[in-house]
Amino acid sequence: MARILTPKLGRRHVVRGLAAATATLVTPRGTALAAQERLVTTPAQTEGPFYPTDWSGDADNDLVRVVGEAAQARGQITHIVGRVLDASGAPIPGATIEIWQCDATGIYRHPRDAGWFRKRDGSFQGRGRDTADAKGSYSFRTIKPVAYPGRTPHIHFAITAPGRQTLITQMYVAGEAQNERDGILNGIRDQRQRDSVIVALQAGDGLESQALLGTFDIVLAG
């Protein structure tokens, strides 16, 4: 994997080249992929109770650094890259990708998931947005998701593309013991669709030291 050289890994650093390098090559319509089979579409899942209520201010694709905060978020830095595709394998440029997840202690950036006895990590952005480029690629710099009571580690996704219905889904981490008993994950009856939202996290030292890297391609129906 080629190292991406920048003077400094800034909070607005976008891993476009890596997303293209780690993903399966997309070929034009009418190629062998389109002729043989269509891609497995990403399954819809629940939005959950903690969709962000406030997108104002700092809501970019780097959730680890927050404007005005001296420290970076607690947790293991994790880069999530991928592409937004249609079922034939063609990229969907201009799609908006939103993510939201709990912090390293299991608390969401949401008024209903905090209290005097539960303090959220103010250095974790909690939610972020990116826009798919001409190749359908997107990227986020965040933290490895953690479990909390009743749920296996996961990241929520919302994908909006022109002329298509918004897809709400979740990304899971391969190898987590809680995956086997998570009701929402196992509610996906199609094994291929269930497998498509479980992502292996690997060493991402090509991006920054001790970081993790996962590739999550999103396939929209229609």
Q: Where are the alpha helices (DSSP H) in 3-121?
A: 16-22, 32-36
CA distance 28 to 64: 36
Task: Compare 209 and 37 and report the one with higher pLDDT.
Answer: 209
CA distance 159 to 42: 11
In this predicted model, what pLDDT tens digit does every residue of 52-89 receive, in sequence order?
A: 999 999 999 999 999 989 999 999 999 999 999 999 99
Nearest to 74 by CA among 144, 174, 12, 172: 144
Q: What is the chain's mean pLDDT, rounded?
A: 87
Indicate the pTM of the whole model. Answer: 0.84
Contact 179, 190 (CB under 8 A): no
CA distance 144 to 219: 23
Contact 46, 168 (CB under 8 A): yes
Question: What structural domains and CATH numbers belong to the chain?
Answer: 16-220 (2.60.130.10)
pLDDT tops 60 at residue 5: no
Strand partners, 141: 62, 79
Count of beta carbons in the 10 Å neighbourhood of residue 144? 18
In this predicted model, what pLDDT tens digit does every residue of 110-147 receive, in sequence order?
A: 999 977 678 999 999 999 999 999 999 999 999 999 99
Helix (H) or strand (E) holding 193: helix 191-196
Q: Are strands 77-86 and 212-215 parallel, antiparallel or unpaired?
A: parallel
